[in-house]
Amino acid sequence: MDAGPQGSLLEGLNDDVLSIIVHILIVNKSRYDKNIKQLSLTSRRMRAACLPVLFEKARVDCGFIRGSDPPQAAWPYIRTMVLYGTFTTGRGLRMGGLKQILPHLLSLRKILFSNINRGVSWGELKFLLAAPNLRVLEIEEPSDLVRDDFTFPGGAPSVSIPFTEFIYTTCDPKSLSRHRRRGSSPVLKRCYLDPFIFSLHETLEVLHLPAAIASLPEMASLDWPRLRELKLYGDRYEDKGPTVLSHVCSSMPRLRDLDLRFFHKGSSKQTLIRPADVSFPTPFDQLDSLYLSYPDPSDGIYACLPPTLQCLSLLDRPRYYRFMRDSDVTKQGYTTPDLVTATELLHILTQLRCPCTTMERLEIAFRADDSDAALYHHIATAFPNLRFLQLHRYRVKGETHSDIESALTVLVRDLSTLRSLQHLRVYLDPPAEEHQLGVGVQRYLDLLRDCVWTIALYCSLALQTIDVLSTTVVRSDVWERWEVSRDRDGTPVVELREDIYHPSLKDDNP
């Protein structure tokens, strides 16, 4: 970016437009990081606009503490501090000047420990509490490393802990990846951070934990009066009893966002939250969003959901086609799940208090049967203001591409009434045998284009994006993205986005 004419043009922009430009550079920071730095040098005004971006994150190398002190010019803008690496001395964070710097970091809200070699202890946390406005703590660690239990000297924290959000992120569970390194790794059954987590039960508002090591019975025995977001994620989850999840949620009266998209192992074939015989109260009638994998049609949670629900996700995680085609899935200990039929999914959705005019996002997966058309009609009438719809339809045995195209036409005719629908994601379970007989990539893309054009033809003018999940032909779990526009006559024009390996198009729930 030349600092001459471009800089003078930018000087003429008002603050709102300039803010949008800087925001675009933020979103694409890895690509435009150099441009942000150059833009900051064009003028004093440009520098003032870019400084919060350039200095929003400070990185501290625990193996080189003395050389990691953030410069004083950055102090007013630092919002996140990332600590990483290996401590080389027993003095830890006290080696550098952080002790004097932390009280001046008034904008610092988040601490992120990224793969600290020995885990996180109370000593490091207490040291960092010198920053006056901390609210978020995130810890990233490999899921298979054994740590010493977290302890408080004297059995309890000696100072007030300000964190309202705690996010414990273990290595992204790619246990179902086709490229997974073979070999066993330790399976942890408990979280070494439990004493710290439990000490925050009265103040936490956001809590993310790996489901496999979350101490659910102990969590259920505590009150979480301020918790509004609970996420249990990852693989190796084993059922801890039919009512344990309801008991956990019953202690969270302000719960608004519940995310239980963990991978099942053991005997469970579906996710059951509220069995029919549960009599104690649960806060599900206050939820804004609910995410489950492989729902159980008998679950009583759906009748408890409010008419103000904004997001409902009932997808197949891990993807159902993996169990149908990939023997490695069962070898890794995953029980083949029960995917609901269209009839069962329709039963689930009819339990909601409809019409649900606040619902903007719906994600569903099902096996096709005679209720397909009734299901589509119910979706269109019960959730009239959908903006995003993700739909995985697993075909009836023996269906051909022609049958799937006919089923797609039935679907999009009902979707045509959704006037606010902007983004549609579909997986149509194409017949695998046709791929094995040598359907080429170009022929496959031609078939996709026909399906996409059918969708664009019937759906409303609001539709902008169509994603179709591709799994077999291109040998990768990616969403083929098609941008939708209209010509002068109003006829839809669809264009395939070429960069299929963009991170946003990678299917993250294989």
Q: Which residues contact 33 (CB under 8 A, 6 or more apart)?
A: none
Tokens of 458: 């019937």
Residues of the chain with pLDDT under 70: 1-10, 12, 23, 26-37, 39-42, 89-90, 172-189, 326-331, 432-443, 472-476, 499-503, 509-510
Bridge partners, 229 (sequence order)? 206, 257
Amino acid identity at 14: N
Whole-angstrom distance, CA of residue 176 vs CA of residue 471: 14
- Specify the pLDDT at position 172: 52
Token pair 């990939």 is found at 326
Whole-angstrom distance, CA of residue 296 vs CA of residue 273: 9
- Using CA atoms, how far residue 214 sits from 144, 366, 404, in Å, is 15, 29, 42
CA dihedral (402, 403, 404, 410) in degrees, to 10, reads 110
At 18, which helix (H) or strand (E)?
helix 15-27
Whole-angstrom distance, CA of residue 5 vs CA of residue 259: 49
- Specify the pLDDT at position 176: 42
Of the candidates 158, 114, 118, 162, the one whose C-alpha atom is nearest the C-alpha of residue 136 is 162
Instruction: List % helix, strand, coil for the chain (3-state, nearest 5).
Output: 35, 20, 45
CA dihedral (113, 115, 121, 127) in degrees, to 10, reads -40
User: Is 332 exposed, middle or buried (CB count within 10 Å of its CB: 0-12, 13-18, 19+)?
Assistant: middle
Q: Residue 180, CB half-sphere, CA atoms under 13 Å: how many?
A: 17
Model-level pTM?
0.88
User: Is 328 exposed, middle or buried (CB count within 10 Å of its CB: 0-12, 13-18, 19+)?
Assistant: middle
Whole-angstrom distance, CA of residue 105 vs CA of residue 132: 7
- For residues 431 and 405, the answer to whether their CB atoms sit within 8 Å is no
